[in-house]
Structure 1
């Protein structure tokens, strides 16, 4: 007896190094579940398809490897769209494997009303994916999966959709692995490289701006060495947090949204932008002035030039380009003076935080004092998450998952499932009471899979960020003050240990230390109301 389409699909995943997938079973995709189990690939069953997408994204961010979401036809596939959009905006390599109605029931150009049928399921994913494929013949199934996965991982990485008519999964078929077309690689222009060295060497106040592309390429060490050579400060985007160690002498450890760090940008006469597109969130909607000279390192020329046009574009992988820039570049004086200035900026910013929002200062200090060194922080779209995303000292690459690609509320807890499954350290989710309720059913998943997750729910009785916006605008509170459940009782009803504290003081520290050293999932609820930090748009200082 020959092998089925589902077996070929799972073999292709094994060849790609996939060891875990996230999904929700449906009558159309059950053969994939059976094949995954037989092949020894762990399948983590979630309670909602959106959680499968978020979990695959969290896994990809924590590991740099392919995250896989397995969902069923029609509404099951559609439920993943919000999560896939976040993965697209954050360049997470996620493979969405979705079944479609049987090929035998499809008629070209006609929507017949088959159960779960859509007129064009792949088209739903077009705006939120890097590419999409629909398998046309059972023999093409494994080859399509390989091609889609490699495309998802190829810089600039991103999610890719594969639609599979459900009858192909049980059909006996061959593995027709058509060879992929050879990719045309960009050759770095030697003259441009020499010119970039000359510009950087002649700069009086160079600055390095490192983005997510730099982190994903593993460019941290090279960026750190280049910064020391140039005596240049390093400003990182949210996606690049942790790219250099906290004690690096050139690291500006706070966001560019603070005036103290923003001054480094304003003073720079040359900016080297590595793996970034200068999005609106990081630039305060492009209110930051165009630098006098801008050198961009990017794999995509359009991405590099769409916001701040570069004077010089170095096309290629961030790590390789920066390493080549270092060759023959003489060290400049001034490193000690730069380090002292960055230390002074750090002191001034921390003083500002303590003055403006002492609870936030206490919260950040508690995290720093209690979390295990290998923890991976997963922030949701909530005020506490914004403080973590902007101001917490991230110790290493891939130790923060922050949904500031698309800004997707409800990301935090389900993404933590993927982070925890990646076995890169305990997942510590920082979420609000509103965002947690988006995926609270995944507590069942955390228990069933015994995932090492600590969920910190900062409960301010509603949507605190929106409440702040309304108060600031002099408007009454509408839709933001919510009836919330007894989160401790709710968690315990799932079999999850939970407790509640008021504020971020001694009791919070004690319980957080205890919870993050447990073997099982747990929930810590904190009654507190924080004001938003400077990296949120209502508080941007550039006008």
Structure 2
């Protein structure tokens, strides 16, 4: 058959290096999905659009590649917003491509098309980095290349394109796309800023480095390790910066960001080098961090530069900035505060043996090189502080903080990972993704889903009880997760804290999807920030 606008979309994606795409078809997008069927792209279809967006996010985080998300108009497009908000908050390069009503209906005239919105694009403008409506087939390759480049350029993030139904179904009108290029624009630091940063760090008596997610996204771990070693500076990792610095390194202060002792170390630094973090709520112990010294902030997102604290702001990609900073500083002896002993002593003073054993059991069961994806649940809040990522990344939805992220994102990762992937949810978050058990079965994706069943929204239960002395809306009726998983053909087991390590290891060792259900009422460690608010 003759080529269409839909073919131009898939040809452009292939030319730019895409291999896997995620999404859900719809009436206005059928031309795109028919073309997809004729392409070399591997399609993974979710059961809801928000889960498709999470799956694309998980794939993009795992590969570091721009990942296409293909959906239809109106309700389908709007359902991606929660996933795209998470991608935006966590700087994940998802390329959303949505169909639109026929071109004759664009412009807000309300002509009564199915799925019609007066201005669908407006819903996405404040969520993603870039939006565009494509109005002719000849625009498609350039529009996709433009969006791809923007998504891949620091700060990475999601973008959004809309293509009317008639353009997707109409003739391509141009030759097959072969030579498309969308190299990201490098974000290099300014030399005079680096010189001043080097001077401050060299003269510091108590320098500390705070490593954020920008280090991981920019692949700047080797440069951070070399710079920290040269400065003799201890390194604290934010929750989003898990994996930025070796967990057990002599300079590592790990990531106990909700611990007052960690906040004190950051506060007392005479020069704090913040790399790839905006020092937002979770990276400042709920905004109780009050710096006493100078801050040097390296940040690719211009909007986050000095957004929370005054600093010597360096607008740059973390890898390029650290690489340029290394030769500007001299070798010096390390000065590392005894922070981790204080953290351990504080935990030992609380009755948290079950929680610590459960997290240790998960860590022992998971292979060192297996990625993990965590929902907004109590065990994940523990993992933010206590999880050693080892050779693989720990991914969470802490950017936007929405529920339901872990399982669909893990499925997206499993589409490209050779080996097991772990997803961790509470029973509340798990209810968002139960339909994706069908997706896991259909594509035989190697994801083990650990569901910690405490009968409600556990973290909200704790927050409400602590703030008001009672709870409301936090208790949930839920299904028999084991029986439900088995009804999808997914092997499942109900475990206990004592058997968790063995049961989870067995599930991870098997091939294909599996579910492990842990009925347990876990508690958070006592916060140390409340009295400082």
TM-score for the superposition, normalised by structure 2 = 0.94
Deviation per residue, 1:387-425 (Å, 9 max, x gap): 1122111114x6111111110111111111111112164
Report what 2:520 is aligned to: 528
Match of 1:437 in 2: 431
1:233/1:424 CA distance change after superposition, 3 Å: farther
Query: Which residue matches 1:476?
Result: 470
Q: CA deviation at 1:292?
A: 1.5
- Are the equivalent residues in 2 in contact too, given 1:459–1:529 (CA < 8 A)? yes
Q: After TM superposition, give the deviation of residue 328 of structure 1 in Å.
A: 4.0
In structure 2, how many angstroms separate the alpha carbons of the residues matched to 1:180 and 1:418? 25
Contact 1:224 1:248 in 2 (8 A): no
Q: How does 1:98-117 map to 2 (within 5 A)?
A: 98-104=98-104, 106=105, 108-117=107-116
Matched, 1:63 2:63: yes
Change (3 A) 1:514 1:539: farther
- Residue 287 of structure 1 corresponds to which residue in structure 2? 288
Instruction: Give me the whole-angstrom Cα distance separating, in 2, the residues matched to 1:179 and 1:456.
Output: 42
- Tell me the residue number matched to 1:24: 24
CA distance in 2, matches of 1:159, 1:386: 25
Structure 2 counterparts to residues 147-166 of structure 1, below 5 A: 147-166=146-165
Change (3 A) 1:542 1:67: farther
Correspondence for 2:389: 394
Given candidates 338, 353, 369, the residue that maps to 1:358 is: 353
Assess if the C-alpha contact under 8 Å between 1:142 and 1:175 holds in 2.
Answer: no
Residues 256 and 386, structure 2, Cα contact 8 Å, conserved in 1: yes
- What displacement does 1:427 show? 1.6
Query: Are 2:244 and 1:249 aligned?
Result: no
Conserved? CA contact 2:188–2:317, under 8 Å: no
- Residue 260 of structure 1 is matched in structure 2 by 261
In the alignment, the residues of structure 1 paired with residue 160 and residue 106 of structure 2 have an alpha-carbon distance, to the nearest angstrom, of: 22
Counterpart CA distance in 1 for 2:35 and 2:529 is 51
Task: Note if contact 2:378-2:458 (Cα within 8 Å) is conserved in structure 1.
Answer: yes
CA distance 1:175–1:318, change in 2 (3 Å): farther
Cα deviation for residue 119 of structure 1 reads: 0.5
Write out aligned runs for 1:83-482 (5 A).
83-104=83-104, 106=105, 108-175=107-174, 188-310=189-311, 312-333=312-333, 335=334, 338=336, 341=337, 344-356=338-350, 357-396=352-391, 399-423=393-417, 425-482=419-476
SS in 2 for 1:82: helix
The separation in 1 between residues aligned to 2:106 and 2:92, in whole angstroms, is 35
Which of 429-438 and 385-394 deviates more? 385-394
Deviations 1:34-72 (A, max 9, x none): 322322211011110111100011111111111221111
Using the TM superposition, give the Cα deviation of residue 211 of structure 1 relative to its aligned residue in structure 2, in angstroms.
1.3
Map Cα deviations across residues 448-507 of structure 1 (whole Å, 9 max, x no partner): 0010101000000011112112222344332111111100000000000001023x22x1
Measured in 2, the distance between the counterparts of 1:518 and 1:14 equals 33
Larger CA deviation: 251-260 vs 122-131: 251-260
**Residues 210 and 367 of structure 1: is their aligned pair in 2 closer, same or farther, counting only changes over 3 Å?**
same
Q: Find the aligned partners of 1:355 and 1:517 in 2 and give their Cα distance.
A: 36
Task: Between 447-456 and 418-427, report the one with greater CA deviation.
Answer: 418-427
| TM-superposed deviation, 1:290 | 2.7
TM-score using structure 1 length: 0.93
Give yes or no for contact 1:95–1:148 (8 Å, CA) kept in 2.
Answer: yes
Provide the C-alpha distance between the structure 1 equivalents of 2:395 and 2:519, rounded to a whole number of angstroms: 24
Q: CA RMSD in A?
A: 2.2
Cα distance, 1:184 vs structure 2:
8.2
CA contact (8 A) 2:195 2:328 kept: no
Question: 2:255, 2:384 within 8 Å by CA — same for their partners in 1?
Answer: no
* Paired residues of 1:20 and 1:42 also in contact (CA < 8 A): yes
Aligned to 1:517: 509
- Structure 2: 5+ residue stretches without partners: none
SS in 2 for 1:29: helix
Q: 1:263 to 1:107 in 2, by over 3 A?
A: closer
Q: C-alpha separation between the residues in 2 aligned to 1:54 and 1:251?
A: 31
- 3-state SS of 1:423 partner: coil
Question: Structure 2: how far apart are the matches of 1:86 and 1:300?
Answer: 16
Change (3 A) 1:229 1:424: farther
- Seen in structure 2, the aligned counterparts of structure 1 residues 447 and 124 have a Cα distance that, compared at 3 Å, is same
In structure 1, runs of 5+ residues without a counterpart are none
Is the contact between residue 99 and residue 165 of structure 2 (CA under 8 Å) also seen in structure 1?
yes
Question: Does the 8 Å CA contact 2:426/2:452 hold for their aligned counterparts?
Answer: yes
Which residue of the partner structure matches residue 532 of structure 2?
542
1-side partners of 2:298 and 2:76: how far apart? 39
